[in-house]
Amino acid sequence: MWSDNETSEDLLGFKVHANLLIDVIKDDTVLPVSIGYFAESTVRRNPY
């Protein structure tokens, strides 16, 4: 497991998504834009 420290290397592969968001935000022809983030937790609780 990696430590929770800032790094310049994209170990999770999010750069493609970050670059897409930057392009959309900077493009005046698509404004206004609304961006949502949805995630599902992978932590499972013991039902007992």
Output the pLDDT for position 43: 63
Output the pLDDT for position 23: 92
Q: Which amino acid is at 34?
A: S
Beta-carbon contacts of residue 30 (< 8 Å; ≥ 6 apart): 24
| pLDDT, tens digit (0-9, with 9 covering 90-100), for 32-45 | 888 887 777 666 66
The total number of residues shown for the chain amounts to 48
Under-70 pLDDT residues of the chain: 1-3, 41-48
